[in-house]
Amino acid sequence: MIDECLVVEFSVTGDDCPLADASRETGVTVDARPPQLRRDDNALLRFSAGDAADDLAAVLDADERIRYLHTSRTDGATNFRCLSKHPCVVHELTDAGFMAETLQYRAGTERHTGAVVGHDVLQGVLAAAAETVGVSLERVSPLGSEDDDAVAQRWDVTPAQEAALRTALEMGYFEVPRGATASDVADELGISKSAFLERLHRGQATLFAQVFG
């Protein structure tokens, strides 16, 4: 039994998949769950966007690689579901053993965060990354018990809420005194202040309900 698990984050540039192209063209930040690859090589995509989501929808709807695009609105964000006939970079890493948890597309750069089991698997994933254009390792660290919920467990929050919570935490929004204002975090996310606060409050309410039962 292998008792070592590592948290890994990759930066991806130059990807030509539909989500990367649409995010680059519209300037919209896209928060996505890992794609599910079907036997016919079509990928099931689930993702969300905040401001200017209509522009994103229009670009994707015109993309011949996208099929059955569906949108719905919740918590001030637009949620998307569709099929993609174009392979995603993350599939190359997944085949090598990378367990993706979150993907974010922003201004032509992607962040893929997940885990690998053991250094041997990590070496295989890094070898696959080296053969894939534009993929570089940003961070790797041991997965401790305090991190397990953040990576291995799916809290019942939307990708947009998770992005708001993570970005607020990273920018010091929850510190005393605050390291960043709500407007600062909203600007970093590329959304309005009111949209950020709505996602933050809904995400906090969901997390607190799960933590405290």
pLDDT in tens, 32-43: 999 998 888 899
Domains of the chain: 5-142 (no CATH), 155-212 (1.10.10)
Instruction: Give the pLDDT of residue 139.
Output: 81
* pLDDT average, residue stretch 171-197: 91
Give pLDDT tens digits for 145-178.
Answer: 444 444 434 456 777 888 888 899 889 999 888 8
Query: Is it the case that residue 2 has pLDDT exceeding 80?
Result: no
Q: Decide if 82 contacts 68 (C-beta within 8 A).
A: yes
Please state the φ and ψ torsions of residue 20, each to the nearest 5 degrees: -65, -45
**Confidence band, pLDDT 50/70/90 cuts, at residue 213:** low
Helix (H, G, I), strand (E, B) or coil at 162: helix
Q: How many CB atoms sit inside 10 A of residue 3's CB? A: 6
Query: Is it the case that residue 211 has pLDDT exceeding 60?
Result: yes
